[in-house]
Each structure stands twice: as structure tokens, then as C-alpha cells.
Amino acid sequence: MRLAPRPDSRSKTHPAMTGGILALFLLVLGSIGIDLHAADLKMQAFVDRSQLTVGEQFTLSVEFSGADAEEALDPQPPDLSPNARFAGSGSSRSMEFVNGRMSSRRTVNYYYFAAQEGSFQIPSIRVTVDGSPFQTEPITVTVGASQGNPAQRSRPSPGMAQSQPESITSQDLFVQASVNKKKIYQNEAVVLTYKIYTTVNVTRYGEAKAPDRSGFWIEDLRDSQQQVETSYEVLNGKRYTVATIKQQALFPSSPGTKTIAPLELECEVRLMPTRRSIFDDFFSDPFGRTGRYLIKSDPVEIEVIPLPTAGKPGDFAGAVGTFRLTGKLDKTQVSTNDVVTLSLRLEGTGNVRTLPNPAVTFPPGLEAYDPEVTEKIESRGNRIEGSRTYDFVLVPRAPGTHKIAPIRFSYFDPELEQYQTTVVDGLSLQAEQGSSPVPIDTVAGSKQDIRLLAQEIRFIKLDPGDLRPIDLSLYQTTWFWLIATLPLGAIAASLLVRRRLDRLAGDQAYARGKRAGRLARTRLAKAQALLEPASQKAFYAECGRALRGFAADRLNIPEAGMMSEDLSRLLADAGVTEKTAEEYVGCLKLSDLKHFAPVESSAQEMKEFMDRAEQAITRLHKELN
């Protein structure tokens, strides 16, 4: 017979003992060096070109970034035979500080030559760091037939950038439009972001055609004058330089399926020639040539849902977002006919500019005037925030307690998907009988009249002023002739102004020439404010815009895509001396070069260049005149 064991308190595990054992276990793990945290590492692979011909070289790069980038061992180069032949490898390293933390970036480059036609896939590359596996995405490469006997590229040095092609494709440069939401409510914000993806050197870009935004209220989230920041992103196995060039908040005014029209950009790209012989360096432009390309984003469709009817408050006037209403009186105890200000502040997130005025009901005996509205709008991240302040001028006409009913403001919260109401509790104003009561029907209805109520004394005029004999004839006064000839002078002046306006409207070259000097001075003034090495890129960009814009306006030619050779020829045709033209074009080339130079210029060099650019513009202005 089996006997049941007796209950024993010692056989039970106390919760405190369990916690102590767990803490001791974690301490032992830490003492023997076992890391319970995942490695801080990001791994990605990309190729410099995904479309090439037989015999051409391409580079497969494996990039490690993060605090543990140096911990990862170099992976073995993948065997791509018979599609590609391995030619060697190299590596590069860089360090950077982000938010006070040091981050390392290490890139391992594998060089291959395409061996045969067809498409093949570079398999995933795998490494293990601190017991954690990491792998890259597969990459597809397409090899076409060799055309003639193309010169093969020489093997680049490790860490050196590849030469840019002499022409580009849609895979080298494109613009992408994206939205943060595909399905939104009417009058809810959708954030539209435009990014440029490029593997080539884009020197300038601008909107070739403004997209149609009818049906949307637009708020810019990014200042057009803000400097563009770039980053790197791997897309479809190819590494791109990415820049966010435009970001807007769109508020649809009606429900239904909406199509956001594409954005068209005109880009200037500096193309470096491919070296085919030792003589290319002597007979080609060392800075390459500039080409213009038109890129266009794809249209984006969003679905706009109508606001629900269930639970809609009676005072709802179309506000969508999250808001809060507050209010106060500047005084609560006054005399009759004194001025009181009721301030209401409506703040929150949403389309603040189109918010309706809060409905306020004032009691009899309290006279109110239309509010003075001030607004403050700002973008914070991907949201439009701000406030509207309503200042009501109130005048109590009768003594007693004047009670203002609670003030309500209803809105629809798209996150909660329901209607909300923010309320300002009722306000009271105590009015005592003033010493000089003014009847209600004798007071005019303006703020200026209200201020005059406090002025009970009108002073007698002591100065007699300008006196003249009463028997002096009107035509004998100077003022008579001035007034008589004034219409003739006004007619003559209007004719001159009209003539100038007609010429400015009808003669584009004349209008651009007149404004050229003013625009150049404005741009040089912006460059003057950037005279420091840390702002080298922005400084030389402003100088380049001043030089390019002045020449384009004076010669009446498009500013976008202005070539150095074309400018030299046009200046010669305009009668500009060769010396002046060479100096002007030289300044323009130097500004473009310094704009993208990797080495910073000193403040003295920047000051000397600005003086040189001003002198070049002045000399060109004199010769063109």
C-alpha cells in the first residue's frame, strides 16, 4: 500500500526564492560573458549595376553598419560561375557619431566580370555574429550581348567610387511619391512625400510642371529653401543616394477615390566621360558634361471616406483632427460701458487654417463685436499643428451679472473614429453701474467709439491756426494753381507708368534685364550671410545662382541647363569682350566645382571668390549696357 506524503512547508517554492534564483542565474550568465542582447548590426548587399553586357565589370558590395560592424567576419565571395568570373576584392571603413553614439560602417567589395548572356541571381550572403544569423536579399543581374569590342573597365581601387556613365537610364535616376495612408477620412491629412533616387551626380533640379492639386487643401511640411539632406538606401539590389525634396500635407475636401497627379522634375546631371585612352584627360572637359533629364513620379490613388452621420453633434461644422478649446475674460468685475475682452484659443492638430469660429451666445445687455482672429501654424514631423485665437470685444450696457453660456466646439477624431466635443465652462461678468451712464441708443457700434466713451472733456482750441484775408481771390492763392495743375501732372505720370508697364508686360527680354541686377544683389546678399567654411555648399550654390541667373536674365535665355560653352558663345554674340566672358564663365565653373568639392574652403578663399563674382557681374553689366 502506497502512503501519501505528508504536507511539508519546506517542499513549497516561495515566490521570493524563485526571484532570487532567477537573479542569480542572470548574474552567472553575465559573469561568464554570455550576451543576452542581439548584436547591433545591419547587413545589406547591392551592386553598382544590375544591367550590363558580356565582358563588363560589376561590383557586388556587402555593407555592415552599426556598433558591431567590426565584429562581422568578411563573407566568402559567392560563386557566380558560369555567369560571372571573380576578379578580386577590397574593403573600406568609416566611422560616424549619431545621437552621441559611435557607429561603424564597413563595406566589402567583390569584383566580377560578366561571362555570358542571360539573367542570373546573386544568392543571399550569410554571416553569424554573437550567435545571431544575418543575411542579405538575393539580387538579380541581367547580362546582354556584347556590342562590338567594348573596352573593359579596369579594376578600381578598394573604397574608390565607380565612374559615372556617359548616359543614364530610368534605373539610375527617378522620383518616387509615397503617402503615409491610403485610406483617410474627408478633411483628414495625408502626408505626401517625394524622394529622388539617384546613382549619378545631380547638380540642379526644379519642377518642370506643377501638379494639379484641385480638391485638396495643401500645407507644406518642408521649406523649399531648406537644405536637402541625403542618405543611402538599397532598392532592388542597387544602392541609391536618396533625398527628400518635397513633403506636403493634403486635406481632401470631398469623399471618393482621389488621384494625386504626378510631379515632373527637370534635373541637371553631370556625366563624367569614360576614359578610353590616355589622351582623353587632355582633350575632354575634366569636369564632364551636363545633361538635362525629365523625370516623373507615378500617380498615387487614395480612398477618401465620408464622415459618419451616426453620432454627429448638431454644432459640428466640419473640423477633423484633435483640438482643445480654452477661454477666459481679461476682467470679471467692471463698470457699465467699460471694455472687456473675451479670448478663446482653439489649438490642436489638423487643418487649422480652415477651422470654423466657435459659436458663442451672449446674454442681453452685453454688447459684442466681431472677433479679431490671429493664427499660428507650424509643421511638426508629419503633422500640421497650430492654434487660432479669437478676441471678442464686449461692452456691458446694463448693470448686473452677465452669464455667457458654455462654449462648445465639436470635431471628428480620425484616430478614434468618432466625434468629440471640447467645452469652455460658462463665464460670468459682474457689471456695476458706472458714474456716467451712456444710453444704449446713443453709442455707435465701433471700437473707436467705445474708446471715446472715456473721454468726457473736449478741450477748446487755443491756437488760431493759419488765417488769411477774406477778400483774397481764390485764383490768387498758390494752392489753387497747385490743385489746378495736379490732374495734368497725374495724367502725364500715369501715361509714363502705363507705357513702362506695357513694355514690361510685352517685352520679356526687357523685363528680365531690368530685374537681373536686383535678383543678383539679393542672391549675393544670401551668400554673404553664409561666409563660413561650415556653409561652403550653400555659399557656392547661392553664388552660382547669382551668376547663372544674371546672365540668363540679361541674355533672355532659360536659366535651367545653361551650358558653359553655350554661355561663352552667347556672350560673344552680345558684344562682350573675350576677357570679360572668360572671367565670368570661369567664376561660374568654379562655383559649381566648389559646391561639390570634398575639401572645405577657408573663409578667406570664400571671401575672395565672392569679390571676384561681384566684379565679374559688374563688368558684364557695364559691357551689356
Q: Residues 164-223: pLDDT tens digits?
A: 445 678 888 999 999 999 999 999 999 999 999 998 888 888 877 778 888 888 888 877
User: Between 346 and 437, where is the model more confident?
Assistant: 346
Whole-number pLDDT of residue 272: 66
Give CATH for domain 508-624. 1.20.120
User: Between 340 and 99, where is the model more confident?
Assistant: 340
Residue 11 scores a pLDDT above 50: no
**Contacts with 137 (C-beta within 8 Å, 6 or more apart), sequence order:** 44, 45, 124, 237
Q: Is residue 210 a contact partner of residue 268, using CB atoms and an 8 Å limit?
A: no
Identify the CA nearest to 173 among candidates 267, 236, 290, 263.
Answer: 267
Residue 32 scores a pLDDT above 60: no
User: Between 194 and 436, where is the model more confident?
Assistant: 194
Confidence of residue 322 (pLDDT cuts 50, 70, 90): very high
Q: Please give the mean pLDDT across all residues of the chain.
A: 78
Q: How far apart are the C-alpha atoms of 48 and 61, rounded to whole Å?
A: 8
Query: Average pLDDT for residues 606-617, to the nearest whole number?
Result: 86
Q: Which residues pair with 92 in a beta bridge?
A: 107
Whole-number pLDDT of residue 174: 92
Say what angle helices 603-624 and 578-595 make with each other, to 10 degrees: 140
CATH 1.10.10.60 at 42-144, yes or no? no
Confidence of residue 38 (pLDDT cuts 50, 70, 90): low
How many helices (H) and strands (E) are present in the chain, helices listed first? Answer: 9, 30
Q: How far apart are the C-alpha atoms of 407 and 403, rounded to whole Å?
A: 12
Whole-number pLDDT of residue 462: 62
- Which of 185-189, 565-569, 585-589 has the lowest average pLDDT? 565-569
Say what angle helices 578-595 and 536-555 make with each other, to 10 degrees: 140
Indicate the helix (H) or strand (E) that contains 508: helix 508-528
Residue 445 scores a pLDDT above 60: no
Whole-number pLDDT of residue 551: 81
Residue 439 scores a pLDDT above 50: no
How far is CA 208 from its chain centroid? 18
Whole-number pLDDT of residue 3: 36
Residue 376 scores a pLDDT above 80: yes
Q: Phi, psi at residue 407, to the nearest 5°?
A: -105, 125
Residue 71: exposure state from Cβ atoms within 10 A (0-12, 13-18, ≥19) = middle
User: Between 349 and 565, where is the model more confident?
Assistant: 349
Whole-number pLDDT of residue 343: 94
Q: Which residues of 54-70 are buried (b: 16+ CB within 10 A; e: fewer)?
A: bbbbbbbbbbbbbebbe
User: Between 48 and 161, where is the model more confident?
Assistant: 48
Whole-number pLDDT of residue 537: 82
Q: Which residue ranges make up each domain of the chain?
A: 42-144, 173-275+285-305, 321-451, 508-624
User: Between 151 and 550, where is the model more confident?
Assistant: 550
Query: Average pLDDT for residues 434-458, to the nearest whole number?
Result: 49
Whole-number pLDDT of residue 153: 41
Query: Average pLDDT for residues 510-519, to the nearest whole number?
Result: 71
- 123 cis-preceded (ω within 30 degrees of 0): no
Q: Retrieve residue 58's grid coordinates.
A: 560589376
Q: How far apart are the C-alpha atoms of 65 and 236, rounded to whole Å?
A: 19
Confidence of residue 447 (pLDDT cuts 50, 70, 90): very low
- The CATH number fitting domain 173-275+285-305, selected from 2.40.128, 2.60.40, 2.60.120, 3.40.50: 2.60.40
How far is CA 145 from its chain centroid? 44
Strands 256-260 and 264-271: unpaired
Q: Retrieve residue 181's grid coordinates.
A: 495612408
* Shared fold status for 173-275+285-305 and 321-451: yes
Q: Is residue 552 a contact partner of residue 561, using CB atoms and an 8 Å limit?
A: no
Cross-sheet strand order for the sheet of 400-404 = 333-335, 427-432, 400-404
CB count within 10 Å of CB 28 equals: 10
Whole-number pLDDT of residue 91: 79
Whole-number pLDDT of residue 520: 80
Residue 384 scores a pLDDT above 50: yes
Identify the CA nearest to 63 among candidates 27, 32, 33, 107.
Answer: 107
Q: How far apart are the C-alpha atoms of 130 and 68, rounded to whole Å?
A: 10
Q: How far apart are the C-alpha atoms of 389 and 371, rounded to whole Å?
A: 9
Query: Average pLDDT for residues 430-445, to the nearest whole number?
Result: 60
Whole-number pLDDT of residue 288: 62
User: Between 488 and 506, where is the model more confident?
Assistant: 488
Residue 267 scores a pLDDT above 80: yes
- Total residues belonging to the chain: 625
Confidence of residue 26 (pLDDT cuts 50, 70, 90): very low
Q: Is residue 331 a contact partner of residue 379, using CB atoms and an 8 Å limit?
A: no
Q: How far apart are the C-alpha atoms of 93 and 164, rounded to whole Å?
A: 22
Whole-number pLDDT of residue 2: 36
Whole-number pLDDT of residue 608: 86
Query: Average pLDDT for residues 238-242, to the nearest whole number?
Result: 87
Q: Would residue 315 be called left, alpha or beta, if left means φ above 0 and alpha means ψ between -120 and 50 degrees?
A: alpha
Whole-number pLDDT of residue 269: 87
Whole-number pLDDT of residue 310: 92
User: Between 138 and 6, where is the model more confident?
Assistant: 138
Say what angle helices 578-595 and 564-573 make with each other, to 10 degrees: 160
Assessment of whether the complete model's pTM goes beyond 0.75: no
Query: CATH second-level architecture of 321-451?
Result: Sandwich (2.60)
Query: Average pLDDT for residues 133-155, to the nearest whole number?
Result: 70
The helix/strand/coil state of 289 is strand
